[in-house]
Amino acid sequence: MKKIITAIFTLCFIGSVQATEVAVVDFRAALLQSNMGQEASKQPREKVAQMDARLKSEQETIEASAKDLQRDELTLSEAEFKKRRQSLAEQQNRLRAMASDMQRQAKELEQQVIQSLTPKGEAALKSLIEERKLDLVVNRQLSLYANAGADITDELVKRLNEGN
């Protein structure tokens, strides 16, 4: 009798266990790596490059001023030295603020690109989920471990490129 009950319990337990199909994806990377993502991010990349060039130019100017101040330190009056050192400190503060503002602008530009591409990306991901009959898709950054076969980022990039 115990064997029959155990067999029935085992059959019921096996029937209740379902395999869960899980995949991971880096949605942001897939959007940006796709052809449409590369095209959409051309103009923002140019803006960031221009901002970076401006920042480097300002940095070179400040470095030249610092070298001049160091060179002239012994020949300047104490008041003039303090005045130039204060001016240099203000320039450095403006440069830091400029760099921070440029980083913020670069992030905003990237967010705008991602937002504009998200609907197409979601549609491609949905079709991929349906095709592979996935039960769960997790953002790759949130997973501790994922088998390489579970990562569908490259497949999503291909799907986005095909849809273009």
**99: in domain:** yes
Q: What is the pLDDT of residue 100?
A: 94
**10: in domain:** no
Enter the pTM of the model.
0.69
**67: in domain:** yes
**23: in domain:** yes
Structural domain boundaries, residue 66: 18-163
* Total of domains in the chain: 1
Q: What is the pLDDT of residue 83?
A: 94
Q: What is the pLDDT of residue 36?
A: 93
Q: What is the pLDDT of residue 67?
A: 93
**84: in domain:** yes
**40: in domain:** yes
Q: Give every residue of the chain whose pLDDT is below 50, as ranges.
A: 7, 9, 11-17
CA–CA distances in Å: residue 160 to residues 48, 66, 88: 25, 51, 50
**119: in domain:** yes
> Tokens 């610092």 correspond to what residue?
66
Q: What is the pLDDT of residue 6?
A: 52
Q: What is the pLDDT of residue 47?
A: 92
**7: in domain:** no
Q: What is the pLDDT of residue 64?
A: 93
